Amino acid sequence: MDLLNIINNLLKIIGDWIYGLVHGLVGNLLVTDLITMGLAAIILCTFAALSFMGLTYAERKIVARIQDRIGPNQAGPFGLLVPIADGIKMFTKEDTTPTAADRWVYNIAPLVIATAALTAYAVLPLAPGVVGTNLNVGVVFTIAIGSGSVVAILMAGWGSNNKYALLGAFRTVAQLIGYEVPMLLNLIPVVLIAGSLSLVDIVNVQSTLNGSPGIPFVLYFPVSALIFLISGIAETARSPFDLLEAESEIVAGFHVEYSGMKFALFFLGEYVNALAVSFMFATLFLGGYNGPIFPPYVWLLIKAAAVFTILMWLRGTLPRIRVDQMHTMNWKFFVPISALNLIILLLVAKIFQPGNAAMPWVTPGVQAMATAITTLIPFLAGLSIASRRLRSQRDAAEALAETRRAANRAAVTTSMGGAH
Amino acid sequence: METAVRTDFGFVGVMFVTAFLLMAATLYAASLLRPKKPNKEKLSTYECGMETVGDTWVQFRSQYYIFALVFVLFDVEVLLLFPIAVAFGSLSLFATLQAMLFVVILLAALLFAWRKGVLEWK
Amino acid sequence: MTITLQTIIFALLSVVVLGSALFVVTTRNLFHAALMLILSFFGVAGLYVLLESGFFAVAQVLVYIGAISILFIFAVMLTRGMVAMPRVNAQAQLAALVSVLLFVVIVVIVNPTALSIKVLPGASERVLGGIPWQFTTVTTITDSYIKQFGASLVDGSAYLLPFLLAAVLLDIALAGAVQVARERRPAEVLAERELMAAEAAEEQQREQALDTAPETVLAADHH
């Protein structure tokens, strides 16, 4: 029992031990605080950077398997040393700054994107009592800090003084700001039930709710969870939303001029953001570190890894979507459906609020069922309307092409007949 | 298990500074390790393999501006919904209806933009 | 006034905010101006943190850096000659006057001398090593201020009307911008040009008519 307790609270115990150690050495509370905060920040950054290396390898291997390839297999056993080889290459590759570039803007952009991506980890609850800082606005903070990447991308695009880079940056930013809207809209349902913007509170609500066993929010809001995940993928600009690096159109998007370590920082920003989205999804909708048997931090890692696997799966399977399709899907489907969902949810969650004296049979479970069902219906209806409209549009385009082909064929036949 | 944790922005500041310094250190380390043999060709803008024609910093289309404007509208309005969502548990039905009305106004703006055709990407 | 960690951070943030704001108005490169404006906004977010209102700090970052600045940069890309703008224009003096007036109004309304500097009870326990984290407070701010803020937004006796009006105002802003900046189809542009040409022709005809027979027409008008 005691051992179990130690394993479950391992992170907390180590943290307290380090704090005590530093306090014993320094004595001053302020300095102790600063040192331990700095250590925690370094540990978090290192964790993110190491998981970046691990994820690049895992992604290559898994996507390769999905596409019936072998993937990296030369450097080390099973190609395990590939991330290290990558690192050596990134460190020793010559780094050019184009003469035409806007030097300061060009050089700071990768720093901005990496810093913004890493800072998001400051509010992530890793285990009970283990969190960088339990901000009472944690949810909005994680989205707000994402603005850093938007600014960095614009800086990179402008600073490169390259037409492809600037075009790529503008495209990317239009995509990022567009998909931020459904992301924010689908966070609100979670906050409605949790009654707090703190990530720790949101996790706690999912473990126990008014005395009854907690329900992960994915069961409350399956539609919101789905839209949040998809817009999260779009937010990190990963496949199938990787329009920014459409090689055939704009070479590699906003980072076309970057090489060496600066490019690596953009790459790191992308992966760290994708991992942050996985962690956020696990925390907001899957109950965070809650789970039976295993220690909390293991549960969090399992859940985040599962979400990231879905991201890799999508990357290995889906083709890149077109820019107009992407915007249409966002502004004409996700945003209206999310807003509609929100209107319904406000009403339904209010009517089926547990603790109402007139309706004692309403428990959190009943509330969850009500919200899930009432949001699924308009979503499915919207989906079927959208698919029917798209199909009829496609059929019309097909029919038009067919008549043109027939006309061409007829014209060719008659002209050939005339030649005879 | 309830334990006291930090709740202020101090750690955010420390995290921000640490991340910035770590990344800057990485860039600096790389600048010591890598070769530096620039030449004119290498430092030219990578566009088509030919001399770049014309300015990059030119006028862009106004559609980006409209998209950003629609985004600003939604961003501000959604942000105002967050505190209401926090207070949701103790709101009266009347207050909830007002919040719904707010979302309806938001939706109306979207439908207006949709009807005007500014949501089409061309 | 004692020097605390807060005053040091406040001084640093002020330098960042004012310095970058100065850069914004003096640079000739509009894009650099926009970037420096972002830095200034960021510093203001820091000031909100010092005032213990985390929600507004985050709102500042989300709305001003994440949305308004992007809008500015997109607007910069709509201008011509964005890397070498004139430093002053015809409205500079007017702008200076308005800024000074605004400053005076803010000082009069806020009245800093009336602000009581008091440290909240239990403030020294709010970490950062025994140094009180509070800076200045007018009213007691607790962690539930977000909840109070949200409740008062939809409370009929509090801020319900401004709240809904803000939504309507944003709608109107969008409608206006769409009307002005909308990219029109070539056919629409052509139709508009034709209409203008027709109007111009009509105008010309009327003028010609006036030129040829001024007295009779004027006489007819007078009756």
B2: confidence class by pLDDT, cuts 50, 70, 90: very low
Percent of chain B surpassing pLDDT 70 = 80
Paired tokens of A234: 């779009």
* Per-residue burial over A294-313, b = 16 or more CB atoms within 10 Å of its CB, e = otherwise: ebbbbbbbebbeebbeebbe
Mean pLDDT, residues A235-259: 73
Query: C147-167, pLDDT tens digit by residue?
Result: 888 888 888 788 888 888 988
Spell out the alpha helix ranges (H) of A318-334: 323-329
User: Which pLDDT belongs to residue C186?
Assistant: 63
pLDDT of the residue at C196: 80
Considering only CB atoms, B18 lies closest to which of A38, A97, A141, namely: A38
Tell me, what's the pLDDT at A224?
Answer: 93
Residues of B in contact with C70 (CB under 8 A): 68, 71
β-pair type (A130-131, A125-127): antiparallel
Nearest to A29 among C67, C129, C146 (CB): C129
Clarify whether residues C4 and C45 are in a common domain: yes
Whether A37 has its CB under 8 Å from any CB of chain B: the answer is: yes
pLDDT, tens digit, for every residue of B22-78? 999 988 888 888 887 777 776 777 666 666 666 666 666 777 888 888 888 888 888
Residues 6+ apart with CB under 8 A from C42: C16, C61, C65
Does C147 share its domain with C201? Answer: no
Confidence of residue A36 (pLDDT cuts 50, 70, 90): confident
Answer whether residue C94 is part of any domain: no
pLDDT digits (tens, 9 = 90+) for A85-98: 888 888 888 887 88
Total number of domains constituting chain C: 3
pLDDT-based confidence at A351, cuts 50/70/90? confident
Instruction: Let me know: does A279 contact A123? Beta carbons within 8 Å.
Output: no
> Does some domain include residue C101?
no
* Residue ranges of B 73-102 with Cβ closer than 8 A to chain C: 73, 75-77, 79-80, 82-88, 90-91, 94-96, 98-99, 101-102
Identify the residue with better confidence: A260 or C129.
Answer: A260
* Phi and psi, residue A66, nearest 5°: -60, -40
Q: Which residue has the higher pLDDT, A165 or B42?
A: A165
Q: Does position A29 have pLDDT exceeding 80, yes or no? A: no
Q: Report yes or no on C61 lying in a domain.
A: yes
Confidence of residue A102 (pLDDT cuts 50, 70, 90): confident
A231/A100 Cα distance (integer angstroms): 35
pLDDT of A169 over the 80 cut: yes
Query: Where does residue C167 rank: exposed (0-12), middle (13-18), buried (19+ CB within 10 A)?
Result: buried
% of chain A residues with pLDDT over 70: 95
- Dihedral angle of Cα C33, C35, C40, C43, to the nearest 10 degrees: -170
DSSP A100: T
B7 confidence band (pLDDT: 50, 70, 90): low
Instruction: Please check whether residues C15 and C73 belong to one and the same domain.
Output: yes
Judged against a pLDDT cut of 60, whether residue A179 lies above it is answered with yes
Q: Is residue C108 part of a domain?
A: no
For the whole model, what pTM was predicted?
0.86
C185 three-state secondary structure:
coil
Kind and range of the H or E element at A130?
strand A130-131
Inter-chain CB proximity B43 and A97 less than 8 Å: yes
pLDDT in tens, chain C (223 residues): 566 777 788 899 999 999 999 999 888 888 899 999 999 999 999 988 887 788 889 999 999 998 999 988 888 887 777 777 777 788 888 989 999 999 898 888 776 665 544 444 444 334 343 444 444 333 344 557 788 888 888 887 888 888 889 889 988 888 888 877 666 666 666 777 788 888 888 888 877 777 765 555 444 444 4
Mean per-residue pLDDT over chain B, rounded: 81
Q: Is position C99 within any domain? A: no
Domain with residue C58: its CATH number is 1.20.120.1200
- Domains of chain A, by residue range, sit at 1-89, 93-404
State whether residue A399 sits within 8 Å of chain C by CB: no
Check pLDDT > 90 for residue A8: no
C54, C127, C128 ranked by CB distance to A137: nearest: C54
pLDDT of B46: 66
Range of the domain at C210: 185-223
Residue A366 pLDDT: 83
- What does each C-alpha distance from A261 to A53, A87, A115, A290, B30 come to in angstroms? 14, 9, 14, 38, 6
In a domain, C126, yes or no: no
How far A144 CA sits from the closest chain C CA (Å)? 4
Question: Looking at the predicted structure, is the pLDDT value of residue A420 above 70?
Answer: no
- Whether C95 is covered by a domain: the verdict is no
How far apart (Å, rounded) are the C-alpha atoms in residues A340 and A76? Answer: 53
Kindly state whether residue C201 falls inside one of the protein's structural domains: yes
